[in-house]
């Protein structure tokens, strides 16, 4: 579908002559969590980057990976930004999907612990909380243990303990000794005597958490639309990483996270710094090793996923094209 709209990319005429509006391809794009990890998508929407790239994007929140995938299948959603585990699970059932980008590399977790844990060697024989078996927090703890030469089935005790907040409470109550949480670590946890032991990202464990995914049939027929969406996101990453845009990005994050840009400035600043400096990249390529790690994790509970090949679920060609044309730095607006 094409709609006509005035684009801010066209300068006003100093001769008084009016320009025709630019055509926008209208699509629906979804994101799967109200999390700071999706903030580059929000920035692209709020600052008109999609429109500058020829897209009229209706951005919708769909808080379930499976429901995001169903939206793609039904063509109610044309592009989704959602968890890679949900994508792999759908692909295992024969849904023809392709990941064309990812939000960041690695695992978005910090390991936090009580005062008795001062080094990773102290985790031996201790209880480590996760949200649920088979989820990304479970995979993070298992992969972390292996990196530290600990047997996740013998040397540590992995228990389900609910949400980030519930797991932090379980540490305070002595029910568990450590857990992984989404960074940055809440100041409230620190006040309770919980401390950050390490960032899982620093361990170099390959993983793709959140990916940009499309139905392969839609991709074949609408490559230009997908390219324009990715170009807008690349522009957003460049804008985000430019420290002079810090205040603007924080305002966008505050809006979507339902925080106050003044009262909650400290936590918003921590979130901004984390993604601007550590997680967001200029070129959001999908890592084949990261997708393979997701496949291996999903396959532990879904044997149908074992036959999947990571390379067949990925297409980085558009991002490579943007790299060659010098589009990855984006305008510093």
- Tens digit of pLDDT for each residue in 207-245? 999 999 999 999 999 999 999 999 999 999 999 999 999
What is the model's pLDDT at position 105? 87
DSSP string, 8-36: TTSPPPTTSPPPPPEEEEEEEEEES-SSG
Give the rounded percent of residues in the chain with a pLDDT score beyond 90. Answer: 71
Domains of the chain: 2-105+208-324 (3.40.190.10), 110-203 (3.40.190.10)
> Which residue spans within 241-323 are E strands per DSSP?
none
Helices 288-299 and 136-147 pack at an angle, to 10 degrees, of: 110
Nearest to residue 86, comparing CAs of 107, 105, 72?
Answer: 72
Backbone angles phi, psi at 198, to 5 degrees: -170, 165
Largest separation between any pair of C-alpha atoms in the chain: 77
| Three-state secondary structure readout of 57-90 | EEEEECCCHHHHHHHHHCCCCCEEEEEHHHHHHH
**Between 31 and 331, residue with greater pLDDT:** 31
Q: How far is CA 47 from CA 15, 40, 235, in A?
A: 28, 11, 11
Q: Is the pLDDT of residue 167 over 60?
A: yes
What is the model's pLDDT at position 190? 79
What is the model's pLDDT at position 330? 53
Q: Is the pLDDT of residue 328 over 50?
A: yes
Whole-number average pLDDT of the chain: 89
Distance in angstroms (rounded) separating the CA atoms of residues 7 and 18 = 12
Quick one: how far is CA 36 from the chain centroid? 8
């Amino acid at each position: 579908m094409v709609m006509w709209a005035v684009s801010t990319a066209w300068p006003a005429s100093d001769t008084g002559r009016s320009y025709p509006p630019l055509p926008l391809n209208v699509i629906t794009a979804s994101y799967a969590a109200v999390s700071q990890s999706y903030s580059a998508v929000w920035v692209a929407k709020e600052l008109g980057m999609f429109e500058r790239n020829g897209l009229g994007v209706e951005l919708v929140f769909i808080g379930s990976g499976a429901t995001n995938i169903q939206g793609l299948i039904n063509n109610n959603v044309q592009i989704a930004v959602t968890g890679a585990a949900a994508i792999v699970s759908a692909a295992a059932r024969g849904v023809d999907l392709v990941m064309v980008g990812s939000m960041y590399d690695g695992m978005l977790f910090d390991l936090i612990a009580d005062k008795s844990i001062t080094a990773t060697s102290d985790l031996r024989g201790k209880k480590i909380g996760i949200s649920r078996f088979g989820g990304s927090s479970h995979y993070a703890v298992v992969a972390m243990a292996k990196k530290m030469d600990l047997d996740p089935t013998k040397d540590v005790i992995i228990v389900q303990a609910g949400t980030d907040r519930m797991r932090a409470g379980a540490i305070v109550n002595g029910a568990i000794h450590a857990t992984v949480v989404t960074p940055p670590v809440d100041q409230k946890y620190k006040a309770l005597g919980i401390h950050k032991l390490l960032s899982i990202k620093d361990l170099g464990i390959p993983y793709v958490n959140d990916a940009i995914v499309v139905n392969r049939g839609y991709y074949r027929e609408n490559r230009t639309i997908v390219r324009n969406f990715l170009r807008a996101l690349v522009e957003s990453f460049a804008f985000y990483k430019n420290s002079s845009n810090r205040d603007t990005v924080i305002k966008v994050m505050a809006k979507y996270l339902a925080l106050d840009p003044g009262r909650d400035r400290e936590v918003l600043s921590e979130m901004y710094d984390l993604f601007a400096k550590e997680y967001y990249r200029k070129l959001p390529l999908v890592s084949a090793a990261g997708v393979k790690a997701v496949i291996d994790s999903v396959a532990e509970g879904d044997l149908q996923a074992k036959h999947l090949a990571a390379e067949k679920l990925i297409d980085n060609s558009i991002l490579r094209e943007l790299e060659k044309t010098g589009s990855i730095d984006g305008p510093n607006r």
